[in-house]
């Protein structure tokens, strides 16, 4: 099967879309250790609500790939995608992207919808950064196109969302990471002009171009998309991701890299390891803990997902149809999106997993995870390929 055909299949049948090639590696430091538990870290989870019904529909079935972040006590969830007209394999259902914007008040442990609005277009799979009292929604895509837009989202006195396109990247971009650092916007890897990349762009709003290329070396290792990423204390962390050119059993990446904004250098960190095996977080989310620790939540099952990519890219005809029939008949437990609470210890450059798993079905797709202080919000996402949940969970750090 040709690669061009593979990339048409994957967004529908595995719910990620990648098209990648190799890249150069920089600093290498891959020492790792593994622990089974840490009694100082506890996350208490509870269901706090569901995403509202989108405009024009009668039922909320959840979305994946939403834009999301906090402005003060207010959680904003915008866009995303699902399959409202049925399963694409069994019922020829079509994927739909949304323009809905929901604003929730989370003060005093509540989760209350207080306003709603619309994005300028239906979109998802972009990135969200907080800039002062606004959100910047970067790039994204829908069924017909990818976007180069930078949308500024603010809240008026009644907390109703107001959106304005304030810039355009010099390329279309989705499924990567972004950060705001020293009054500059950085975008990392992801899908650039239709191809997965490892490039980094420091964007100029004045020239609408990438500037200062010496301070933006590419992400080490292979090109990648659909990876959890976060800016923390002057660094930008990139965890794993997906790469279709990585070869059998390695499409799901487990390497980790961080970018030092001040020195404009990458460092390769300990790979993601649980039970002494590479572990997948692609399609998952993350949050900051105390004591320089980061918790990774959700993500695909590495063995199941690697096998699915292999079969979809190698089988043909009746064999391919039979595999799709088998794959989509798997239960949520067999698909096994991660319920592990996997922690990276920055000081020790090491990994461990909490004994307790999240007390609900794992998620990917990508999953939306957003944090305010000691509260982590696990927002909707896929619970198996194609199938979403509208549920929103809150994890409280202790």
pLDDT in tens, the chain (398 residues): 333 333 334 544 455 443 333 333 333 333 333 444 456 789 999 999 999 999 999 999 999 999 999 999 999 999 999 999 999 999 999 999 999 999 999 999 999 999 999 999 999 999 999 999 999 999 999 999 999 999 999 999 999 999 999 999 999 999 999 999 999 999 999 999 999 999 999 999 999 999 998 899 999 999 999 999 999 999 999 999 999 888 888 999 999 999 999 999 999 999 999 999 999 999 999 999 988 999 999 999 999 999 999 999 999 999 999 999 999 999 999 999 999 999 999 999 999 999 999 999 999 999 999 999 999 999 999 999 999 999 999 999 98
**Residue 106, CA distances (Å) to 61, 103, 156, 224, 373 in order:** 22, 10, 17, 34, 12
Position 10 scores a pLDDT of 52
Q: Under 8 Å CB-to-CB from 19, ≥6 apart: which residues?
A: 3, 7, 191, 194, 195, 196, 244
**Residue 26 to residue 256: CA distance in whole angstroms:** 12
Distance of CA 55 to the CA centre of its chain: 24
pTM of the model: 0.92
Q: For residue 185, how many C-alpha atoms fall within 13 Å in the half-sphere facing its CB?
A: 29
3-state secondary structure of 93: coil
Residue 112: how many other CB atoms lie within 10 Å: 12
Where do the domains of the chain lie, and which CATH numbers do they carry?
Answer: 3-397 (2.120.10.80)
> Which residues face 341 on adjacent strands?
297
Residue 27 corresponds to which tokens in the numbers above? 């600093």
Nearest Cα neighbor of 140 from 82, 184, 97 is 97
Position 290 scores a pLDDT of 85
**Residue 5 to residue 320: CA distance in whole angstroms:** 13
């Amino acid at each position: 099967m040709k690669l061009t055909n593979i990339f048409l299949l994957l967004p529908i049948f595995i719910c990620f879309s990648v098209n990648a090639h190799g890249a150069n590696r920089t600093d290498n430091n891959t020492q790792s250790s593994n622990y089974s538990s840490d009694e100082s870290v506890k996350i208490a989870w509870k269901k706090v609500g569901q995403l509202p019904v989108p405009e024009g529909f009668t039922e909320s079935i959840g979305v994946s790939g939403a834009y999301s972040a906090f402005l003060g006590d207010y959680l904003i969830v915008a866009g995303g995608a699902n399959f409202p007209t049925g399963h694409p394999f069994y019922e020829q259902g079509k994927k739909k992207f949304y323009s809905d914007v929901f604003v929730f008040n989370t003060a005093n442990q509540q989760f209350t919808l207080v306003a709603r609005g619309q994005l300028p277009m239906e979109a998802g799979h972009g990135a969200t950064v907080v800039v002062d009292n606004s959100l910047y929604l970067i790039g994204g895509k829908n069924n017909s196109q990818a976007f180069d837009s930078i949308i500024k989202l603010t809240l008026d006195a009644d907390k109703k969302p107001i959106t304005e396109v304030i810039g355009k990247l010099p390329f279309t971009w989705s499924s990567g990471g972004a950060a705001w650092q020293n009054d500059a916007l950085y975008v990392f890897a992801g899908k650039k002009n239709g191809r997965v990349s490892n490039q980094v762009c420091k964007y100029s709003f004045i020239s609408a171009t990438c500037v200062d290329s010496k301070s933006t070396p590419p992400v080490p290792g292979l090109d990648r998309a659909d990876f959890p990423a976060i800016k923390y204390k002057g660094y930008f962390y990139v965890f794993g991701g997906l790469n279709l050119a990585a070869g059998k059993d390695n499409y799901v990446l487990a390497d980790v890299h961080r970018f030092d904004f001040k020195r404009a250098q990458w460092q390769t960190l300990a790979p993601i390891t649980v039970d002494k095996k590479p572990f997948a977080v692609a399609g998952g989310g993350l949050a900051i803990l105390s004591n320089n620790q980061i918790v990774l939540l959700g993500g695909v099952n590495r063995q199941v997902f690697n096998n699915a990519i292999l079969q979809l890219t190698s089988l043909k005809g009746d064999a391919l149809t039979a595999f799709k029939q088998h794959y989509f008949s798997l239960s949520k437990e067999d698909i096994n999106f991660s319920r592990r609470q996997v922690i990276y210890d920055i000081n020790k450059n090491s990994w461990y997993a909490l004994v307790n798993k999240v007390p609900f079905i794992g998620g990917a797709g990508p999953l939306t995870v957003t944090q305010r202080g000691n509260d982590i919000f696990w927002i909707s996402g896929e619970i198996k390929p194609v199938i979403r949940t509208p549920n929103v969970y809150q994890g409280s750090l202790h």
